[in-house]
Amino acid sequence: MALAAAASVQAAEPDASVMAVKRDADLAWTQVPNAPGLERAVLYGNPAAPGPYVIRVRFAPGVMSPPHIHPEERQIVVLKGTWWVGSGPRWNRAATVPLPAGSFAVHHPGKVHYDGAKDEEVIVQISGVGPSSTKMVDEAGNTR
């Protein structure tokens, strides 16, 4: 009897006015423009608009972003795989540092960095306060 009651409780969705729920199967992954092998899914908010947002970014094996900046602080949790990170305007895959699943990092606003996957798929969850953008930089650190 208790098992049947527990099963029916688990099957019920929470009241949407109390909490918003998004399961992994509900995520709508989209290709990031001009970045083959990089996909993102918006979990909460709108990164392009003012206000808080939460996104997931999926890197295919071997895909790394070149040096870039964001105008806002971003908090990142590595959910799957080993995420490789580096800083500075000169892109050097060999100088990246591994952050395994469970790691946490903060991108400070306007600071040049690069990141991605080496030999496995990587998924990170990023939160911040928009509007968000990504601007590529040249080897002198100037935005393109």
The CATH number for 42's domain is: 2.60.120.10
The answer to whether residue 7 scores a pLDDT higher than 70 is: no
Pairing, β 122-130 against β 104-107: unpaired
Confidence label for 6 from pLDDT (cuts 50, 70 and 90) = low
Asked, for residue 93, whether it belongs to a domain, the answer is yes
Closest CA to 75 of 54, 50, 44, 48: 54
Confidence band of 33 (pLDDT split at 50, 70, 90): confident
Residue at 114 is within a domain: yes
Quick one: pLDDT at residue 9? 52
Range of the domain at 72: 27-136
pLDDT-derived band at 13 (thresholds 50, 70, 90) equals: confident
How many domains does the chain divide into? 1
Q: Is the pTM of this model over 0.75?
A: yes
Q: Is residue 21 part of a domain?
A: no
Task: For residue 27, name the pLDDT band (cuts at 50, 70, 90).
Answer: very high
Q: Does residue 84 form part of some domain?
A: yes
pLDDT given for residue 60 in this prediction: 97
The answer to whether the beta carbons of residues 63 and 133 sit under 8 Å apart is no
| 78 residue type, one letter | V
Whether residue 40 has pLDDT greater than 60:
yes
pLDDT at 2 over 70: no
